[in-house]
Structure 1
């Protein structure tokens, strides 16, 4: 009975967090679908052919517009690298498309507060700048060529099919494209496909977060994160955050519930930020980097990304502390109040109706076939289907 009670507590906690972030998830993926529906990937590789500040800027903007799960972002980064984009631009694109996206900011705002949402965007931009500088100083042409040779072998990782889809609408103004029949279909396609690509990570993140919140006493977290020694906690946090993320196996928006648990447990503000950034170096993705670019480049990505994530965490910590905007309250509403009849429930009902409309449109326009092809490795097959 005790074991069942513990399981029930964990599931209740997980569902409470899911209920709290449901409408932000739907809103975020809808807005992301709108952006992707009207912004084409067609000229992406040509625009990102170098590593100049201009190329890095465009890589960042394209990444934000191409909001996707971590696996799809990594697959798309390899695709544009194969087509002529510089390796630096590909990695910047990858960072932006996972850490500077609409849905992540909305979820952080609702679940953890505006400070964390702002920190995510500030830290994400810092990561882009830092990684571009590190690559310019340390990335050798020989290593890039080795990665290029490995990338051209076309080894399968995950979500290649999803990453290869370009269902954007061409011709007309923004509003004409958006409110056309093709625009509605494109938005529904991106909405459902994005959900299909991240639901496992979201579910895993919620279950792990629920279990940790229900089963692990706060005294353990406080000792683990040295919360009784604020100075030591600020030093340790950005270094420990990415290491915890690497072994969590959870990426994309699925690590936000875990971040909430860590914050409640006592990790520093900068540690939370660096933890969220580290969705690009979890163990499954490191293995994909090995397949895509080879062992040497995988190790290079791990080291440079880790240092960049930790550095961004430190800078955000000190910047927000200087401004006096680091939140002092570590209580997470979803972990203490549970499900109630309030604005969250009303918004969930409204946005669930929107989601139903988008899913119906998706199914009526050949969506089932697209789901079957999500993990296809042939970009030609995917692009042909996307424009049918």
Structure 2
């Protein structure tokens, strides 16, 4: 009975977390679908052809507007790299598309506090700059050449079909005319559903792990592990261990936010939370994908560069927010509330569930269900233009 009660408690916490983050997820993926419906991948590739500050800035902005789960982001980055984008710009796009997206910011603000959202949007660009500098030192010449040769082999993964799809609306007319045309609405619906199909496993896994973590791991143990009683040691330890926990948890994309809330309530430092969230791109399955896409030497350099940049960005966030007095003093992330009531969250969820139902119905009526099979297709297949 104790085991059953503990499992029930973990599932209840996971369920309440799901309810808390539902409407921001729907909003974020809807906005991402709108952006993807009006911006073509060829336009993106042209802007990312170098590793200049301008190209990196464009990669960051375009990535932030194009939400992806970690696996789809990695596949899309390789697709951009194969089509002519520089390696650094492709990786900047990859980082931004999972760590600087609107739904992540909204969820962080609602469940943990606006300071975490600000930290993410300050630390993300810092990480991108550090990664670009690291690549100039360790990812050039023969290494990049070998990575491109491996990338050109077109080895397929579970997200290749999703990354290859281009359902954007052809030019002609104003932005609003294109967006609210029949083809425009169909394209938004298609991107919305396909993005959900690519990310739901990550989110579900993260919620279940976070629920179990919150229900079963004693807070006293976590506080000791994170050195909560020693502020200096905690600040030094948090950004180092945060990415390691992320790697071993196998949780990525937005699914790691509930677990980040559990870690914060358990005593990890502010900078440790930031570095943990950034680390969705070096979980062990993703590292294995890097090896398959770019070769072993490139995968090791990508992983090492990302890790060092995540740690440094965590330290930067910790320092900046400590100096300005913005580090929250309370550790009571609302994501751990285990009840659902009639409040603004419930009303927003109902409204956005109606929007999701409209987009799903549009997806089905337009014949989009057949495209779900492309989730496992190869990027060597032709781009799919919605028409």
Would you say same fold, with TM above 0.5?
yes
Check conservation: 2:37, 2:168, Cα contact below 8 A: yes
**Aligned counterparts of 1:337 and 1:67: Cα–Cα separation in 2:** 28
Query: What's the RMSD between the two structures over aligned residues?
Result: 1.2
> Structure 1 residue 210: deviation in Å?
0.3
> Structure 1 residue 299: deviation in Å?
0.5
Check conservation: 2:261, 2:335, Cα contact below 8 A: no
> Structure 1 residue 129: deviation in Å?
1.1
Check conservation: 2:12, 2:338, Cα contact below 8 A: no
> Structure 1 residue 337: deviation in Å?
5.2
Unaligned residue ranges in structure 2 (runs of 5+): none
Distance 1:11 1:139, change over 3 A: same
Partner of 2:261: 260
Matches within 5 A, 1:65-80: 65-80=65-80
1:333 aligns with 2:330: no
Check conservation: 1:169, 1:182, Cα contact below 8 A: yes
1:123 aligns with 2:116: no
Unaligned residue ranges in structure 1 (runs of 5+): none
Check conservation: 1:238, 1:310, Cα contact below 8 A: yes
> Structure 1 residue 54: deviation in Å?
1.6
Matches within 5 A, 1:1-388: 1-171=1-171, 172-336=173-337, 338-381=339-382, 383-384=383-384, 386-388=385-387
Partner of 1:271, secondary structure, is helix
Check conservation: 2:160, 2:377, Cα contact below 8 A: yes
In terms of mean alpha carbon deviation, does 17-26 or 172-181 score higher?
Answer: 172-181
**Aligned counterparts of 1:274 and 1:51: Cα–Cα separation in 2:** 24
**Cα deviations by residue, 1:150-190 (Å, 9 ceiling, x for unpaired):** 11111123301111111111222221122111111111111
**Aligned counterparts of 1:221 and 1:301: Cα–Cα separation in 2:** 30
Check conservation: 1:6, 1:214, Cα contact below 8 A: yes
**Aligned counterparts of 2:140 and 2:375: Cα–Cα separation in 1:** 34
**Cα deviations by residue, 1:99-125 (Å, 9 ceiling, x for unpaired):** 111111111111111111111111111
Check conservation: 1:77, 1:91, Cα contact below 8 A: yes
Check conservation: 1:36, 1:67, Cα contact below 8 A: no
**Aligned counterparts of 2:379 and 2:99: Cα–Cα separation in 1:** 27
Check conservation: 1:32, 1:103, Cα contact below 8 A: no
**Aligned counterparts of 2:148 and 2:168: Cα–Cα separation in 1:** 28
> Structure 1 residue 306: deviation in Å?
0.1
Partner of 2:134, secondary structure, is helix
**Aligned counterparts of 1:3 and 1:249: Cα–Cα separation in 2:** 24
Partner of 2:375, secondary structure, is coil
Check conservation: 1:185, 1:362, Cα contact below 8 A: yes
**Cα deviations by residue, 1:214-253 (Å, 9 ceiling, x for unpaired):** 1111001001101111110000000000000001111110
Partner of 1:42, secondary structure, is helix
> Structure 1 residue 379: deviation in Å?
4.3
Q: TM-score, normalised by structure 2?
A: 0.97
Partner of 2:235, secondary structure, is helix
> Structure 1 residue 18: deviation in Å?
0.6
> Structure 1 residue 45: deviation in Å?
2.2
> Structure 1 residue 84: deviation in Å?
1.5
Check conservation: 2:147, 2:295, Cα contact below 8 A: yes
> Structure 1 residue 139: deviation in Å?
2.3
Check conservation: 2:49, 2:86, Cα contact below 8 A: yes
Alignment: residue pair count = 386
**Aligned counterparts of 2:95 and 2:14: Cα–Cα separation in 1:** 28
**Aligned counterparts of 1:47 and 1:24: Cα–Cα separation in 2:** 29
> Structure 1 residue 31: deviation in Å?
1.2
**Aligned counterparts of 2:118 and 2:127: Cα–Cα separation in 1:** 14
Check conservation: 2:51, 2:89, Cα contact below 8 A: yes
Check conservation: 1:123, 1:273, Cα contact below 8 A: yes
> Structure 1 residue 365: deviation in Å?
0.6
> Structure 1 residue 267: deviation in Å?
0.3
Check conservation: 1:39, 1:65, Cα contact below 8 A: no
